[in-house]
Each structure stands twice: as structure tokens, then as C-alpha cells.
């Protein structure tokens, strides 16, 4: 009895110590991963294009240049002004921000805010 209790404790200790990388090989994982490369945004053409939402992200949208200003547009007509911050990230209104990531050959837009978080993949440049 005592021997089996020790085996159970040892198995639990090993199980608790093992922490696999969460979805490290999943290219569609909804949050940033260790291998992602942050790409600073310096000018509008770095971020202009059509994006499709990945799991956990908002619906598809477009970032375009309109009269010299960047605008984020959603299919149902919502428009948000976008500004490029000094640190190479994006400010979308005062509610949320975004940054560009490279995951392999893919360009992703990581969106973060109070009520929104997730990744969008750029599928087409404008």
C-alpha cells in the first residue's frame, strides 16, 4: 500500500512538472507565439491590405489609406481611424491597438484591446 502511494505521488509530480508548449506547432493559433517576429510599422504601405480573421479574432477587415490617413474598415460599414505610433505599433481609435507579426511566410495583425483580442492574416495588399 505504501509503495503504491509513493508511485502515485511520483507520477503526479512528473505530470505536474511537464509543461508542453501550448500549440507551438499550430500556425493558426489565435495568440502570438514564441517564434513570431514583430515587424514595426513605419509607413502606411507596411499595413495597408485585406485581412481575414483567425480563430478568436474579429471578422475580416481592410486597412486602407483615405485622403492621407489610415482607416480600418469592416464589411458592415464600421470605420476606425488608425495612427502609427512611434514604437511601430498601431493605435486604433482610443479603444485598442495592434501590431504586425511575421509567422513563417505569413503576415499577421495582432489586435489587442479591452473587449477584443486575436489575430488577422493579411491575405492581399492594396
Model-level pTM greater than 0.85? no
Query: pLDDT (tens digit, 0 to 9) for every residue of the chain, 126 residues total?
Result: 455 555 555 555 555 444 444 444 455 565 667 788 999 999 999 999 999 987 655 578 899 999 889 999 988 888 889 999 999 999 988 778 999 999 888 899 988 876 667 788 999 887
Per-residue pLDDT, 96: 85
CB-side neighbour CA atoms (13 Å) of 24: 5
Place of cell 489610415: 70
- Residue 111: CB atoms within 10 A of its CB come to 23
CATH number of 29-124: 2.40.128
Give me the DSSP letters along 74-116. -TTS-EEEEEE-TTS-EEETTTEEEEEEEETTEEEEEEEESS-
Q: What is the pLDDT of residue 75?
A: 82
| Annotated domain spans of the chain | 29-124
Amino acid at each position: 500500500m505504501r509503495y503504491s502511494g509513493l508511485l502515485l505521488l511520483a507520477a503526479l509530480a512528473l505530470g505536474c512538472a511537464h509543461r508542453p508548449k501550448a500549440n507551438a506547432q499550430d500556425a493558426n493559433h489565435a495568440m502570438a507565439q514564441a517564434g513570431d517576429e514583430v515587424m514595426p510599422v513605419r509607413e502606411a504601405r507596411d499595413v495597408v491590405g485585406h485581412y481575414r480573421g483567425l480563430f478568436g479574432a474579429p471578422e475580416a477587415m481592410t486597412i486602407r489609406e483615405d485622403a492621407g490617413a489610415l482607416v480600418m474598415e469592416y464589411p458592415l460599414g464600421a470605420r476606425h481611424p488608425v495612427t502609427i505610433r512611434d514604437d511601430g505599433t498601431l493605435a486604433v481609435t482610443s479603444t485598442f491597438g495592434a501590431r504586425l507579426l511575421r509567422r513563417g511566410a505569413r503576415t499577421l495583425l495582432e489586435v489587442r484591446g479591452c473587449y477584443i483580442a486575436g489575430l488577422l492574416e493579411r491575405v492581399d495588399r492594396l
